[in-house]
Chains A and B, each alone.
Chain A
Amino acid sequence: MKSTYTEIKESPKGKDSKMNIEVWEDLVNIKDLVISLIVCSVMALGGYFLAPNKPPKPLFFGLSGAILGFVICSIFIKPNRIFIETEQED
């Protein structure tokens, strides 16, 4: 019974398993890209508007927001790279 389950989980193979497209010389997953664009943008603009209205504070808050967004995305999104370490060179 258990094996059927795993099979179902793995079933959408073939065309659908290839979900990544190439943007700027590396692969991205469309859904993850959209999430990342939204998270970073909201954090950046949010930081900008929440900051005390005395320059250059809004800019720094905005930048910090963008970087925080970047960190959040890096934690939740898995890179689409398979990393294979081979043994010592001969």
Chain B
Amino acid sequence: MTTTLILQMIVAAVIAAIMYTIIGAAPGADETATIAPITLVLVLSGLHPAVILTFFISAIVACKLIDAVPVSTAGIPAGVMSTPMVEHAMVLKKFGLTDTSIRKIASGAVVGTFVSVPVSLFLARALVPFSTVIKQYGDPVFFIGAVLLALMSKNRWVALASILPFALLIQGLRHLYWGIGAVPKGTNVFTSFFLAITIGPVILTLFELLNKEKRESMKRFDKKSIYLKKAQEIGKFPNPFRILTKKEIVYSTMASLIGSVAFILSPVGLTTFFGELFASRTKDPVEKASLAISTMEALAQATYFSGTLIPLIALGIPLSPMSLGPANPLFNAPPVFTLQHNMHHILSGLDFISATLIGAAIASAFTYFVAVKYSQQICAFVFKKIPHEALLGLFFSLVLLLAFMDAGWINIAGVLLIGIVAGVLYRLGVNYGVLFMILYSAPWIIKTLAG
């Protein structure tokens, strides 16, 4: 590893930390939709994989840590992962403890990072022998994964029923592209289909807007009022480990351990379940709420790390909700990365460790500092200056661009089609994990069906 590479990694981590401190504070900024497209572009641009991994790690840390600000100050979740925390953060806000809330969440995030980075790296090493067993099954692994994720989800029957039809749609389009020569035969269009699923619900809404009756029957709202209490000035800069009580540190550490081991399960499900479980035994409302938010945040960070690092280092195939979602471009972004040739195969153990440490350390330090010190200013800036329309426009245009690069003009229609279907399925209760697993298993499913 050269000095230039390390410098590049540091620059990437700083850029990601700044970028995602802003994007992460915006309401409704889903992790997959905000992090995956940018990571994809970086992968396709041919940057060194270690630099991209550093960028990614820094992005997830910053994106999650900064949640503390909108959740605590305005009670608005900044993404799916922070939704379970809102209720508890609001308790603290009611007691006039907005500052405490931000600091507890931010400190929880630091604890989660501290615990889960070494644990994930260790677990990944320990799992390497099993990886050959898992890989022997090769293609059917994703099909089994799709079925398992479907069975574990809330709406299991609709999820199960959608596996075959959705696989048919994906493979059908690929065969069409081969047939008309949009891409060479055997090239599986992947990136743009993946993004189409990610923004499926938005594409569906956009199409509904084109229907006059639908448009007129849509719920109309006036402007959204956001109330923000002025926070106190900070005198001395707080040490994250001093902010939490002993009990909170113990519980956050335990939660991070559980989150790291259970990397294959849904992060949101884990966060809600263990956060509520740990907090339920405390009676005092303030104590309970701060225990809940710090534990949840620690656990969320831990599932982020373990869900990314363990499959990446040990397996090289995306087998966790995290690696199927935001971290997907690290596994599969043809033509740069494929399942046979990705970061797992390219990077050395030292690369993984240094990328993770640089990314995590820079983002934690930067975003922790900013969240604790400038929460007011960030909230005001994002809520007043960044229109939701512009964010949607940015992601939509990135999807269009990558769709065109994947297979030409025809693929823009193909991506819209997949987006509409994925959006409908998502609304019916099929979660992203199942849809992504189907995307991976589609070639095998169709080959098996055809006999």
- A residues apposed to B, CB below 8 Å: 15, 17-30, 32-33, 35-37, 39-41, 43-45, 48, 55-56, 58-60, 62-63, 65-67, 69-70, 73-74, 77-90
Decide if B209 is an interface residue (CB 8 Å cutoff). Answer: yes
Q: Cβ of B284 < 8 Å from any Cβ of A?
A: no
Contact residues in A for B397 (Cβ distance below 8 Å):
37, 40-41, 43-45, 65-66, 69
Interchain Cβ contacts within 8 Å, total number: 174
Q: Across the interface, which residues of B come within 8 angstroms of A80, CB to CB?
A: 221, 223-224, 387-388
Known: A36-B393, A79-B386. A90 touches B222 (CB 8 A): no
From A22, A55, A84, give the contact of B226 (CB < 8 A).
Answer: A84
Contact A66 B394 (CB under 8 A): yes
Residues of chain B within 8 A of A73, CB atoms compared? 387, 389-390, 393
Out of B45, B206, B380, B394, which one reaches A40, CB within 8 Å?
A: B394
The one of B41, B218, B393, B404 in contact with A45, judged by C-beta atoms closer than 8 angstroms, is: B404
Q: Contacts A20-B223, A23-B202, A86-B228 given: A28-B394 contact, CB under 8 Å?
A: no
Q: For residues 71 through 115 of chain B, which have their beta carbon under 8 Å from a beta carbon of chain A? A: 77, 96-98
Q: With A82-B223, A84-B226, A88-B232 given, is the CB distance from A26 to B393 under 8 Å?
A: no
CB distance from A82 to the nearest CB of B (A): 5
A70-B393, A74-B385, A74-B387 known; A19-B96 Cβ under 8 A = no
Residue in A closest to B382 when the chains form the complex, CB atoms: A79
Are A84 and B228 closer than 8 Å at their CB atoms? yes
Contact residue among A25, A45, A48, A83 (Cβ-Cβ distance under 8 Å from B380): A83
Report how many residues on chain B are interfacial, defined by Cβ distance under 8 Å: 51
Q: Nearest chain B CB to A67's CB is how many angstroms away? A: 7
Q: How far is the CB of B220 from chain A (nearest CB, A)?
A: 4
- By the criterion CB–CB under 8 Å, are B209 and A30 in contact? yes
Known A40-B393, A87-B230: A26·B388 in contact at CB below 8 Å: yes
| B27 A44 Cβ-Cβ under 8 A | no
**Residue positions of B touching A, CB distance < 8 A:** 27-28, 30, 41, 44-46, 77, 96-98, 201-202, 205-206, 209, 215, 218-230, 232, 380, 383-394, 396-398, 400-401, 404-405
* Chain B positions within 8 Å of A86 at CB level: 227-230
Instruction: Name the CB-closest residue of B to A79.
Output: B387
Return chain B residues, CB-CB under 8 Å to A33: 389, 392-393
Contact, CB under 8 Å: B393 / A24: no
- Cβ A21 vs Cβ B401 within 8 A: no
A–B pairs, 11, beta carbons within 8 Å = A23-B392, A24-B202, A27-B223, A28-B389, A44-B398, A62-B401, A70-B391, A80-B224, A81-B383, A84-B226, A89-B97
Check if A63 sits within 8 Å of B41, measured CB to CB.
yes
B299 CB to closest chain A CB (Å) equals 22
A74 near B228: Cβ-Cβ < 8 Å: no
A-side contacts of B386, CB under 8 Å? 74, 79
Chain B residue numbers with a CB within 8 Å of A18 are 220-222
Q: Is the CB of B229 within 8 A of A44?
A: no
A70 surroundings in chain B (CB, below 8 A): 390-391, 393-394
Given contacts A24-B201, A27-B223, contact A66 B388 (CB under 8 A): no
User: In the complex, what distance in Å separates the CA atom of A34 from the CA atom of B387?
Assistant: 13
Given A40-B397, A70-B394, A82-B225, 10 more pairs with CB closer than 8 A: A21-B221, A22-B221, A24-B388, A26-B28, A37-B206, A59-B405, A77-B390, A79-B385, A81-B225, A81-B226
CA distance A35 to B389 in the complex (A): 9
Q: Decide yes or no: A59 and B41 within 8 Å by CB, A79-B388, A89-B96 being known contacts.
A: yes
B225 contact set on A, CB distance < 8 A:
81-82, 84
CB of B223 within 8 A of CB of A26, answer no
Q: Are A85 and B230 in contact (CB under 8 A)?
A: yes
Chain B residue at smallest Cβ distance from A61: B401
Q: Is the CB of B219 within 8 A of A22?
A: yes
A83 touches B226 (CB 8 A): yes
Tell me whether A83 and B45 are in contact (CB under 8 A).
no
Compute how far the CA of A90 lies from the CA of B400 in the bound complex, rounded to whole angstroms. Answer: 50
Taking a contact as CB atoms closer than 8 A, the residue among B202, B220, B396 that contacts A20 in the complex is B220
Q: Smallest distance from the beta carbon of A48 to chain B beta carbons, Å? A: 6
A81 vs B218: C-alpha distance when bound (angstroms): 19
Q: Which B residues are in CB contact (< 8 Å) with A39?
A: 393
